[in-house]
Amino acid sequence: MQHNPKEILRRYLAERGLKITRQRYIILEAFIELGRHLHVDEFYPILRTKYPKIGHATVYRSLKLFAESGIAREVRFGDGLTRYELVTDGVRHDHLLCTACGTITEFESPGLGQLEASIVQNHGFKVQSLQIELRGVCSQCLSS
């Protein structure tokens, strides 16, 4: 099945008797278009430049709703902020966090999945969630 965030949101809202508002779709489209890890206080000003009538609380509630519906995932990197990232079907990724500039870079490594499977098998463990964060200094900051 193809990952269609708008359809997932429409179904999720309909199942709960919630309204499918234009503002929610606008926020979802912007979230998908930006395609990066956003916290509400970073995302809201971006939206307001184009849609000044959308309120901060509406953006916050929409991001929470996207996470509840499975469209997005809440990620926390230890800085006290909750960020949201778009969930993509079947593509596992992890994060490189630059401690100098704050850049978050996603990376994929099939080898990590194999390592995880080996560890799980050796210890008879069932993983419920896994998030790998490598902290350090990005190449741009290293060259400046």
One-letter amino acid identity for 10?
A: R
**Phi and psi torsions of 98, nearest 5°:** -85, 120
- 41 labeled binding residue: no
For the beta sheet containing 133-136, the strands, ordered from the edge strand earlier in sequence to the opposite edge, are: 104-107, 94-98, 133-136
CA dist 76 → 36, 73, 80, 99, 115 (Å): 14, 10, 7, 15, 23
Q: Is 79 annotated as a binding residue?
A: no
138 is in an annotated binding site: yes
3 state DSSP class of 2: coil
Nearest CA to 104 out of 79, 72, 135 is that of: 135
User: Binding site residues for Fe cation, as ranges?
Assistant: 94
User: Binding site residues for Zn(2+), as ranges?
Assistant: 98, 101, 138, 141
User: Binding site residues, as ranges?
Assistant: 94, 98, 101, 138, 141
